[in-house]
Structure 1
Amino acid sequence: MTTYAVTAATGQLGRLVVEELLERGVEAGDVVAVVRSPAKAADLATRGVRVREGDYSRPETLPAALQGVDRLLLVSGSEVGRRVEQHANVVRAAEAAEVGRLVYTSILKASTTGNPLAPEHAATEEALRDSPVPTVVLRNGWYTENYSASLPQYLATGEVVGATGEGRVSAASRADFAAAAAGALLGEDALVGLDGGAHAVHELGGPSFTLAELAEAVSAATGQRVAHRDLSEEELAAHLRGAGLDEGTAAFVAALDASIARGELETDPGALEVLAGRPATPLATVLADAAATRG
């Protein structure tokens, strides 16, 4: 039997991938949930999932976590500035464990984008290219939840403010990206690279929208009129500072919007839908669910 491991399995994405594998018929005993705090995965353990401690920053924990694993999902770390070293620890452990496939969650257009989040992903991708482990890189776009979580702010201010111009965002829900990750672990076609080799890269995202279209969708989902206000990158940074963000964080967020304006977070939804085995969740659905949750 094939053994599948998911890192960060108690996180928002990792837990969904574990659930997706189980829903697709993988036996719980063939799934390994790699987590920093096993106690947080007690519910998975009671269902028969094998829970193992594994911390990206503590490489001594990783050999035991990956023992006997055939296919591994490496969910990218959340500690910006430390991720290259952390990911390298997992890659080395996967090599030592003779993992047969490593799937990594990267970012759209990692090798060419000016997105400030990309350099650590690009460095990890380079390490994977140099690794003997066959790899599948999932270059994920934005989560639709990045926007639905901001519903209270949109409604309180009556506007969606950004510096994206006519740039489009190919966002998809976490569940969509989790389904694609499960497909990359389970499917054989996912491993075929463009050059026929064993290093495949998939650019993933859902149907695209502009922030103006987002504002219209928010209005429709909530019944409250929300407008779109587009600023320059510099104006957005100043706006964010005025809202209480420090200078560095404001500049960082504005740079993310500038990346969208350059078209760096737009892609065709076809690749995600093939890996996921279903269409991406519409923006309207995610917003409607978020609005209903708010009551």
Structure 2
Amino acid sequence: MILVTGATGQFGTSAIDFLLKKGISANTIVALVREEEKAAALKNKGVKVRMGDYDDYASLVDAFTGVEKVLFISGSDIANRLSQHQNTINAAKEAGVQHLIYTSFQRNNETETSPLWLVAQSHIQTEKWLKESGMKYTLLRNNLYMDFLPAFIGENVLETGGIYLPAGQGKVSAVLRSEMAEAAANILTTNGHEGKEYNFSNTEAVSYPEMAQWISEVSGKQINYTSPTAEDYAKTLQNFGVPAEIIGLFSSFAVAQAEGELASVSTDVENLLGRKPTSVKDFLSTMYAIKEK
């Protein structure tokens, strides 16, 4: 059996849908969920649903029992993620899971000087635990979800006429979340991935000046890009009432892009999909193209 953690989240749901499309029998797929009421759609597809919580070790052991492969989607509770991930790995080992596929994080700087250290440190430690666990493992080092780019660009970019982000001339090699999930499903259903580390980055990295140009071309509106200091960016968002937690997260990712942390390119997703992943240019063209009335 194949178990998918975080099964009601967007990545988990997409991965299960791709497993079903590949002909994997629904009764051999297990969805790990915390809230049963959110799993109605999965149950309707015939997928087995088991209750489990990253904070509840016993529930994880029960859920993992009889499972061969686990798609371990990293937790979103950054403050408690380390202990949750340790629980998950230890429970999987105790339950006899043979192969664990983990959604990790693309990075270049693995020191505390990284602007993304708060996010990266738990992934780095989780990878270490996996390698020491004795279980078969596969690491998926996810770059930025392309789906998040409009938030960095600005939701009202066509009205404001500008992208305001402290990303400098840095580039990002973003990939659609659904294509990452599809690649993960391909790994779950084929052989030869044990001990592999895949970079889930696109085949090209692009900058925000390039994005501004592409949006200008497809929207018919002039879009300019301004890269303020991180301090000025934070003050501007504060003035608009954006919560400090959100400001910190966006600032960290923007500065990381400026420093080239997310600029690595790779053909791993392309090879796993058997086609080129959606490009940022095509994604933005779809998002911002002039709609015919």
TM-score, normalisation: structure 2: 0.89
Structure 2 residue aligned with 1:204: 200
Deviation at 1:186, TM superposition (A): 2.1
Counting matched residue pairs gives: 286
Q: Does the CA-based 8 Å contact 1:204-1:267 persist in structure 2?
A: no
Which range moves more in the overlay, 8-17 or 154-163? 154-163
1:197-234 deviations in Å (ceiling 9; x for gaps):
xx322221113211111222333343333211112233
Give 1:1-295 correspondences, 5 Å limit.
3-109=1-107, 112=110, 114=114, 115-116=116-117, 117-149=119-151, 152-191=155-194, 199-206=195-202, 207-247=204-244, 249-291=246-288
Distance 1:167 1:76, change over 3 A: same
Deviation at 1:121, TM superposition (A): 1.0
Q: Does the CA-based 8 Å contact 2:213-2:223 persist in structure 1?
A: yes
Q: Partner letter of residue 173 of structure 2?
A: S
Q: Does the CA-based 8 Å contact 2:2-2:70 persist in structure 1?
A: yes
Q: Does the CA-based 8 Å contact 2:107-2:261 persist in structure 1?
A: yes
> Identity across aligned pairs (percent)?
32
1:64-83 deviations in Å (ceiling 9; x for gaps):
21121111011111111111
Q: Partner letter of residue 279 of structure 2?
A: P
Q: Partner letter of residue 136 of structure 1?
A: T
Q: Does the CA-based 8 Å contact 2:218-2:290 persist in structure 1?
A: no
Which range moves more in the overlay, 129-138 or 103-112? 103-112
Structure 2 residue aligned with 1:195: none
Q: Does the CA-based 8 Å contact 2:140-2:198 persist in structure 1?
A: yes
Q: Partner letter of residue 273 of structure 1?
A: E
1:16-61 deviations in Å (ceiling 9; x for gaps):
0001111112111111111111221212212211111111122221
Structure 2 residue aligned with 1:196: none
Q: Does the CA-based 8 Å contact 1:221-1:284 persist in structure 2?
A: no
Q: Does the CA-based 8 Å contact 2:154-2:163 persist in structure 1?
A: no
Specify the SS of the correspondent of 1:138.
strand
1:157-177 deviations in Å (ceiling 9; x for gaps):
221111122211010101111
Alignment gaps of 5+ in structure 1: 192-198
Distance 1:105 1:221, change over 3 A: farther
Q: Partner letter of residue 41 of structure 1?
A: A
Deviation at 1:246, TM superposition (A): 4.6
Superposition CA RMSD, Å: 2.2
Alignment gaps of 5+ in structure 2: none
